[in-house]
Structure 1
Amino acid sequence: MGTEGADFRVIAGRYRLQARIGRGGMGVVWRASDELLGRLVAVKEILADDSLPEDDARRRRDRTFREARAVAQLRHPHIIVVHDVVEQDERPYLVMELIDGCSLADRIARHGPVTPAEAARIGIALLSALDTAHEAGVLHRDIKPANVLVESGTDRVVLTDFGIAQVEGATTLTETGSFVGSPEYTAPERMSGVRTGPESDLWSLGALLCTVLSGESPFRRDSLGGILHAVVAAEIRPPVEAEPLLPVVRGLLERDPDRRLGAAEAEWMLRVYLETGRTPRAPEAPGAPRGHRLGMGRPSKPVPHPSAQPGVSAPLSGAPGGTAEAASGRSSTRAVLVVALLVAALAAAGGSAATLFLNRDESGGGGSPGGTATTPSTGTGTRPAPPSSTPVPSRSGSPTPSRGPGTAPSGYRTARDPAGFSLAVPDDFTRSPQGERVFYLSPEGTYRLGVKVGTPEPGGPQAVMRGQAADGQVANPGYRDGRVTPTTHAGRPAALWEFTWNGYSATEGPRHTYDLCWEESGRLYDVWVSAPVGKVREAREYFDVALDTFAATPS
């Protein structure tokens, strides 16, 4: 580690600080020597903040001791070991085991996203650790890549930084008037103040899995208001890289905490993936809540349901499917969350965002460490969510649409096409009619946005898409991984066809296509986008904006 930032102070007559190895929102972590026992340790020093009122300074000090008490009662190979907590010059120090390695945040920043198998291994370790913590009545409340260490040599995954943990029966400690946590990894029910339970940590783990697989959080946006909206109300689209683990990710990112995937279920599903290469559906007993409450004991390992087969899990909340009663319950919950979102957004607009959240550390804690925004800029507003290989849920279920027919976001223009429709396309896209199809092409033709207007056919949109998929190889060389999924668009039955193919030449390379078909006003509309497989994030944005702004017009 060297001696950069070395201090060499001796704390409590025993721990000699050697080098700074990390820094967070509240303090510095030092590599230190325990001169009594002759071993290396990590010492977390809580830095003084003279700007804080006396009460807040006391809360910060109490928070350190709270972390020590929370972790000291936990014994698990994937949870950091706390050796001691000491005080010197009225400043607390937390003495922990020294992990020779780096955080997941640093690992992603240096080496990029991990493989699905590695993500599954990380998920299993963290689920096991959380299960132990929850059984002991401890909520972590800040699961994110910066708070997960990976030990060099062994690749052991270690959950650390219980600084804002909540212990059953203890009073929650926060700074005055603030919410403590990392918003991109915070569950919607915690964000809104409705409730906090073990399920909230599992949501955070779902977001973390998306981050380690793709390089950035699925809720990353350019503003606090954008993050709040993404977590609480916007359509959730896991990244395409999460496809192999999609049933787990979707289950953990279920907005209704009572329907969220439990730790034991998720761990079992990830183990099945490591053994078979395929992730099964989540086993569940009808009417039984998932997960477990604090202090209620460990749930038994799930027994696979006879009908459980490898495949894709049910749609996320707000997607088509489910009973009317369940949909009604989700709508009520969503309404409460949206109200809380608006309150939080107003507070942020008033300039108090810095105190609303955040424990953002220098490595991007609370953000997606090392991730780079690959989506083209659309101004200062909320950036559309990352893409996924999941069906496009009904857009009519969105509580507050961000745009509508004819409304082009910044960086786009409204194209009123003589073929009888209008939609928003990027400013630099040019129209290129090709027979019965109209294309809007990016410079060099990297992105191709196509629209076809026809007459309804027997069987509706699903039959049309299935017919095209059956002939996929004819029009799309190297056609593979194709699937047609029933969904809705603007409240109308629709079908989504998604596939990968080789492109029209070796120079062009493999491409990925999203294609949505629906009927409206006696016409059949087919809208699609095609892009290189390495640029599907941008393609999905163009696709979503086109669909969100699409309107039929007189030809």
Structure 2
Amino acid sequence: MPNETSGERLLARRYRLLTHVGRGGMGTVWQAHDEVLGRDVAVKEVILPHGLTDEERAVHHKRTFREARTAARLGHPGVVTVYDVVEEDGRPWIIMELIKARSLDQVIKQEGPLDIRRAAEIGRQMLAALHAAHQAGVLHRDVKPSNVLITGAGRMGERAVLTDFGIATASGDATLTQTGLVMGSPAYIAPERARGRVAGPASDLWSLGVTLYAMVHGKSPFERSEPMAALVAVISDEPDPPEKGGRLTPVIEGLLRKNPDQRMDAIEAGALLDDIVRQETIDTQRTMAVEYSPDELPGRTLPRPGETPGPEPRDVPGSDAMSGRPDELTRFDSPAELAALAGAAPSAAPADATAREEAVRDDPADDRSEEHT
């Protein structure tokens, strides 16, 4: 079957291929319809490079089946769900959850760099998905903006979903990467992997750090015109300081330590990202002023209809339970004070403490025999 599959194709007598969704280094993703369950799905068509031997082709097929098993066993809302994997025309096809959304890479290109809070929120969702994968013994090994789907409308309702575990490895699986071949995107790959060393969870965290940098700066700090130049930069060059990182700067710098043993771990990074999101949310809140009329001020009891107003309640020392100060009183002594608390300018405010006491004694509505101070 040719790579450009007909839209009338019925895969495995069940999945009808409809339209292209995207294309990557490991294949083409289609929107398809599951004729059995009556739902739309995404189908990844694995397209192999030309000139491969039969043995190399078999290795790629095994990798694809492993990808399906790896992603299917995660079961995390931040990881695209794998429903099925079928073999047709001598190669595997992966049936996945269809997520109609832009990639993070598209969001950055269309909208420009993200604000700090939005980047931190997306970053912590990515980190949660990676942490769940690492707990299950799974490495992604190709974390980058084009492998993150952003769903939902508006910043508060966005969901970040990691996709394309095409070169993931799982604990207990023999390596399927050919000797001397580095799989992944050069501008996002970790230094230890660029050197051909064994990858670990810290390698995914490096890629997350580069992705955070790209979210607030628009591109990876190691982006170069040639892939080999990008690999050399990852190994040899220190990234440019994250000048637009704001509160994300400690996270980015911690994740981009070249020595994986000194790199910030998921727990510390997650705590910092949580604090950023929480603090940014608090800082953007505004307190609305509530206006009261003098008769509606807190602490003033209003008479019911038909009821004759009684004398003002006497002040009792120690009654201010909220303040915790037993000698402080809560009292509205005069119309001038009421007007001031209501936001209006008093018509005749007492000039000093002596005038205030005289005003209180001359008030016929005040039957108190002594003044509490």
TM over 0.5: yes
CA distance in 1, matches of 2:97, 2:218: 28
Work out whether 1:242 is the aligned partner of 2:245. yes
Partners of 1:148 and 1:157 within 8 A in 2: yes
Work out whether 1:44 is the aligned partner of 2:47. no
Of all paired residues, the percent bearing the same amino acid is 49
- In the alignment, what sits opposite 1:31? 31
CA distance in 1, matches of 2:8, 2:53: 30
Give, in angstroms, the shift of residue 177 of structure 1: 3.9
Work out whether 1:199 is the aligned partner of 2:198. no
AA of the residue aligned to 1:215:
G
SS of 1:182 mapped into structure 2:
coil
AA of the residue aligned to 2:143:
I
- In the alignment, what sits opposite 1:57? 57
Partners of 1:124 and 1:270 within 8 A in 2: yes
AA of the residue aligned to 1:167:
A
Over 3 Å counting, the alpha-carbon distance change for 1:44 and 1:226 in structure 2 is same
Partners of 2:102 and 2:149 within 8 A in 1: yes
SS of 1:185 mapped into structure 2:
coil
- In the alignment, what sits opposite 2:184? 181
1:335-484 pair list within 5 angstroms: none
AA of the residue aligned to 2:109:
A
Partners of 1:145 and 1:208 within 8 A in 2: yes
- In the alignment, what sits opposite 2:299? none
CA distance in 2, matches of 1:184, 1:162: 18
AA of the residue aligned to 2:59:
R
Work out whether 1:81 is the aligned partner of 2:84. no
Over 3 Å counting, the alpha-carbon distance change for 1:172 and 1:238 in structure 2 is farther
- In the alignment, what sits opposite 2:235? 232
- In the alignment, what sits opposite 2:166? 163
CA distance in 1, matches of 2:181, 2:54: 16
- In the alignment, what sits opposite 2:343? none
SS of 1:241 mapped into structure 2:
coil
Give, in angstroms, the shift of residue 109 of structure 1: 1.6
Deviations 1:69-93 (A, max 9, x none): 1111101110110000001111210
Over 3 Å counting, the alpha-carbon distance change for 1:237 and 1:243 in structure 2 is farther
Higher strand share: 1
Over 3 Å counting, the alpha-carbon distance change for 1:5 and 1:53 in structure 2 is closer
Partners of 2:83 and 2:96 within 8 A in 1: yes
Which ranges of 4 or more aligned residues in structure 1 deviate by more than 4 Å? none
TM-score (norm: length of structure 1): 0.48
Partners of 2:242 and 2:252 within 8 A in 1: no
- In the alignment, what sits opposite 2:304? none
Partners of 1:238 and 1:249 within 8 A in 2: no
CA distance in 2, matches of 1:244, 1:238: 13
Which residue among 260, 266, 271 is the counterpart of 1:263?
266
AA of the residue aligned to 2:173:
A
CA distance in 2, matches of 1:271, 1:198: 20
CA distance in 1, matches of 2:47, 2:5: 15
CA distance in 1, matches of 2:228, 2:88: 40
SS of 1:230 mapped into structure 2:
helix
- In the alignment, what sits opposite 1:9? 9
SS of 1:204 mapped into structure 2:
helix
Q: Where do 5+ consecutive residues of structure 1 fail to align?
A: 279-555
AA of the residue aligned to 1:149:
L
Work out whether 1:215 is the aligned partner of 2:218. yes
Deviations 1:480-528 (A, max 9, x none): xxxxxxxxxxxxxxxxxxxxxxxxxxxxxxxxxxxxxxxxxxxxxxxxx
CA distance in 2, matches of 1:106, 1:181: 19
Partners of 1:5 and 1:20 within 8 A in 2: no
Deviations 1:120-157 (A, max 9, x none): 00111011001100000000000001100011434211
Deviations 1:383-433 (A, max 9, x none): xxxxxxxxxxxxxxxxxxxxxxxxxxxxxxxxxxxxxxxxxxxxxxxxxxx
Structure showing greater Rg: 2
SS of 2:93 mapped into structure 1:
strand
Q: How many residues align?
A: 275
CA distance in 1, matches of 2:88, 2:139: 28
Q: Where do 5+ consecutive residues of structure 2 fail to align?
A: 282-373
Give the RMSD, CA atoms, in angstroms. Answer: 1.7
SS of 1:190 mapped into structure 2:
helix
SS of 2:174 mapped into structure 1:
coil
Partners of 1:56 and 1:176 within 8 A in 2: no
Over 3 Å counting, the alpha-carbon distance change for 1:23 and 1:182 in structure 2 is same
AA of the residue aligned to 2:189:
T
Give, in angstroms, the shift of residue 229 of structure 1: 2.7
Deviations 1:529-551 (A, max 9, x none): xxxxxxxxxxxxxxxxxxxxxxx
AA of the residue aligned to 2:188:
Y
SS of 1:124 mapped into structure 2:
helix
Give, in angstroms, the shift of residue 176 of structure 1: 5.6
TM-score (norm: length of structure 2): 0.71
Give, in angstroms, the shift of residue 5 of structure 1: 8.4
Deviations 1:423-452 (A, max 9, x none): xxxxxxxxxxxxxxxxxxxxxxxxxxxxxx
AA of the residue aligned to 2:11:
I
Partners of 2:182 and 2:193 within 8 A in 1: no
Partners of 1:47 and 1:91 within 8 A in 2: no
AA of the residue aligned to 2:107:
R
AA of the residue aligned to 1:55:
E
Deviations 1:231-283 (A, max 9, x none): 112122233221321000000001111111111111110110111249xxxxx
Partners of 2:26 and 2:166 within 8 A in 1: no
